[in-house]
């Protein structure tokens, strides 16, 4: 969010800027604040670059004229006005609001008052699509072996094909299936450990240092490099704050955040499920899988807090057992979830695509056309890609036929050796979204 501070003198501008300097670093990062100072004679040259205009108190009556001019140039501009304590009253309110000023503060107001107003403005920007708010998908499962990691990786590749900035977060701290499958390894995991043991703060800069890019749009966040920190992250209550902070930063840096929870339940993953936009429960079509989901739902529904964010994705074991309608019919009488959680199409049984781990590809680019069509539909239904974007899968793009498999590999994830051999502990390829 770009702030333009206008006041009559350099000293007055600096005095106004000190209110923003009083904000915590985390608040400034979450609002993505960029501040510029200018005098009342030159403000028109800069106002078109601003999201919020802050008018200082020494402008006096000239402030209303500046606000009127600014609104003429940028009609969607948000304006905050400071007045002297003596001038703070009904007359100042009426004059300010008549020219489009959003809020009037006295000079003695706390910096927290300004922070609260900026947070409200930022929330409006997110609703209007003027500020990035990444969508968080927590991928989980009731029992192992259902292909949750395969789905998480495939959704990352779909997002990459559609040029969506994506973070894949491997929270499977024991087996690290997502990282191993994508052949990702590096010293970046030490940064995650430093967050857990408290030797480094979680900031945008440290998050960038922790990310391992695997394509121009997709980066992986590994678990901590040591088991002690890994267990503390998912099992200790302090992990809740760490996960929440990472998610908050990731939302403003990425369009999509896909988290592979590994199915482990703890304070951190519980908090993640509560804050996620979608809790994607991957299930298979076996009887044992059905009974596992039945038990799993008894506490996950309470943990998530509502059923409107729970979505099931059936990844068939063989494609010849229970169908989605049968699974839903067995579970609905007990759990009363409604139709929405069952809206996703099942993933086709695709034995060849199941060999994706370690290939530098995923279930999406390695699968047959029907598999890729379903995965794109899933991404659309979950809001990861725009509904009106044209489908990328066409008659001549069947990577499963072998003819274009190298094309997918090069276009989406680059050469395989650039993934496995190129991860050497640096992440110079990571750029801030929008840079």
Q: What is the pLDDT of residue 319?
A: 61
pLDDT above 90 covers a percentage of the chain that reads 60
Same domain for 58 and 193, yes or no, is no
Same domain for 75 and 224, yes or no, is no
pLDDT above 70 covers a percentage of the chain that reads 89
What is the Cα–Cα distance from 327 to 114, expressed in whole angstroms? 52
Where does the pLDDT of residue 398 fall: very low under 50, low under 70, confident under 90, or very high at 90 and above?
very low
Residue 193 lies in a domain: yes
Structure tokens at 146: 């259902």
The residue ranking higher by pLDDT, 253 or 306, is 253
Same domain for 243 and 372, yes or no, is yes
Phi, psi of 430, deg, nearest 5: -80, 125
Give the other-Cβ count within 10 Å of 127's Cβ. Answer: 10
Please say whether the beta carbons of 148 and 237 come within 8 A: no
What is the Cα–Cα distance from 304 to 309, expressed in whole angstroms? 8
What separation in angstroms does the CA of 144 have from each of 175, 224, 304, 311, 394?
Answer: 11, 22, 20, 18, 33
Q: The domain spanning residue 279 has which CATH number?
A: 3.40.50.300
Mean pLDDT computed over 34-63: 92
Same domain for 87 and 109, yes or no, is yes
Mean pLDDT computed over 366-395: 85
Lowest-confidence region among 52-66, 212-226, 246-260, 318-332: 318-332
Residue 430 lies in a domain: no
Same domain for 293 and 410, yes or no, is yes
Lowest-confidence region among 3-7, 31-35, 316-320: 316-320
What is the Cα–Cα distance from 267 to 277, expressed in whole angstroms? 18
Residue 433 lies in a domain: no
Whether the pLDDT of residue 132 is over 80: the answer is no
From 128, 162, 191, give the residue that closes a domain. 128
Same domain for 318 and 230, yes or no, is yes
Residue 94 lies in a domain: yes
Mean pLDDT computed over 210-219: 94
Same domain for 124 and 163, yes or no, is no
Span 49-90, pLDDT tens digits: 999 999 999 998 899 999 999 999 999 999 999 999 999 999
Closest CA to 151 of 303, 301, 354: 354
Residue 139, beta-bridge partner list: 260, 280
Please say whether the beta carbons of 56 and 15 come within 8 A: yes
Mean pLDDT computed over 300-325: 83
Same domain for 143 and 110, yes or no, is no
The residue ranking higher by pLDDT, 433 or 131, is 131
Q: The domain spanning residue 60 has which CATH number?
A: 3.40.50.2300
Whether the pLDDT of residue 416 is over 80: the answer is no
Residue 305 lies in a domain: yes
Residue 429 lies in a domain: no
Residue 295 lies in a domain: yes
What is the Cα–Cα distance from 382 to 281, expressed in whole angstroms? 12
Span 223-247, pLDDT tens digits: 999 999 999 999 899 999 999 999 9
Secondary structure element (H or E) that encloses residue 296, with its range:
helix 287-304
Q: What is the pLDDT of residue 401?
A: 35
From 128, 161, 193, give the residue that closes a domain. 128
Residue 432 lies in a domain: no
Give the residue numbers spanning the domain of 78. Answer: 2-128
What is the Cα–Cα distance from 102 to 107, expressed in whole angstroms? 16
The domain total for the chain is 2
Mean pLDDT computed over 304-315: 88
Whether the pLDDT of residue 178 is over 80: the answer is yes
Same domain for 90 and 233, yes or no, is no
Say if strands 52-55 and 256-260 run parallel, antiparallel, or are unpaired.
unpaired
What is the Cα–Cα distance from 218 to 157, expressed in whole angstroms? 8
Same domain for 323 and 378, yes or no, is yes
345 DSSP 8-state letter: P
Helix (DSSP H) and strand (DSSP E) numbers for the chain? 18, 12
CA 357 to chain centroid: 25
Where does the pLDDT of residue 409 fall: very low under 50, low under 70, confident under 90, or very high at 90 and above?
very low
Same domain for 172 and 290, yes or no, is yes
From 128, 161, 181, give the residue that closes a domain. 128
**Beta sheet of 103-106, edge-to-edge order:** 34-38, 2-6, 52-55, 78-83, 103-106
Whether the pLDDT of residue 294 is over 50: the answer is yes
Whether the pLDDT of residue 392 is over 60: the answer is yes
Same domain for 285 and 366, yes or no, is yes
pTM equals 0.76
Provide the sign of the torsion angle of the four alpha carbons 341, 345, 349, 355, taken in this order. negative
Whether the pLDDT of residue 419 is over 60: the answer is no
Phi, psi of 36, deg, nearest 5: -130, 145
Structure tokens at 175: 């087996």
Closest CA to 31 of 131, 127, 128: 131
Q: What is the pLDDT of residue 375?
A: 96
């Amino acid at each position: 969010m770009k702030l333009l501070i206008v006041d009559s003198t350099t000293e007055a501008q600096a005095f106004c800027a000190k209110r923003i300097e009083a904000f915590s670093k985390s608040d400034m990062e979450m609002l993505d604040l960029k501040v510029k100072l200018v005098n009342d004679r030159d403000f028109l040259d800069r106002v078109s670059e601003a999201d919020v205009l802050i008018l200082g108190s020494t402008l006096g009556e000239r402030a209303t004229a500046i606000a009127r001019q600014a609104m003429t140039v940028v009609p969607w501009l948000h304006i905050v006005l400071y007045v002297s304590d003596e001038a703070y009253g009904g007359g100042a309110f009426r004059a300010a609001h008549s020219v489009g000023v959003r809020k009037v503060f006295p000079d003695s107001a706390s910096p927290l008052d300004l922070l609260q107003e900026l947070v409200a403005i930022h929330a409006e920007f997110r609703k209007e699509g003027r500020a990035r708010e990444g969508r968080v998908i927590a991928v989980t499962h009731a029992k192992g072996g259902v292909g949750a990691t395969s789905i998480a990786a495939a959704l990352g590749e779909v997002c990459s094909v559609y040029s969506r900035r994506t973070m894949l977060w491997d929270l499977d701290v024991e087996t690290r299936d997502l990282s191993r499958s994508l052949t990702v390894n590096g010293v970046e995991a030490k940064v995650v450990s430093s967050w857990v043991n408290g030797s480094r703060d979680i900031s945008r800069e440290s998050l960038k240092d922790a990310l391992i890019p695997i394509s121009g749009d997709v980066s992986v966040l590994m678990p901590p490099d040591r088991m002690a920190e890994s267990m503390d992250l998912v099992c200790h209550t302090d992990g809740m704050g760490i996960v929440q902070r990472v998610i908050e930063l990731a939302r403003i840096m990425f369009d999509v955040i896909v988290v592979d929870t590994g199915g482990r339940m703890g304070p951190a993953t519980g908090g993640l499920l509560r804050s996620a936009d979608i809790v994607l429960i991957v299930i298979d079509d076996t009887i044992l899988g059905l009974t596992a989901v039945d038990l799993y739902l008894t506490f996950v529904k309470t943990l998530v807090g509502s059923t409107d964010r729970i979505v099931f994705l059936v990844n068939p074991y063989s494609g010849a057992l229970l169908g989605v309608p049968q699974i839903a019919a067995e579970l609905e009488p007990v759990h009363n979830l409604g139709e929405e959680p069952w809206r996703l199409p099942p993933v086709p049984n695709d034995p060849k695509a199941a060999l994706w781990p370690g290939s530098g590809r995923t279930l999406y680019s390695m699968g047959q056309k029907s598999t890729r069509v379903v995965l794109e539909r899933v991404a659309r239904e979950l809001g990861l890609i725009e509904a009106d974007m044209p489908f990328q899968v066409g008659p001549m793009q069947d990577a499963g036929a072998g003819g274009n498999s190298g094309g997918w590999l090069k276009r989406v994830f680059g050469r395989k050796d650039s993934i496995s051999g190129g991860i050497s502990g640096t992440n110079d390829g990571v750029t801030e979204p929008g840079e």
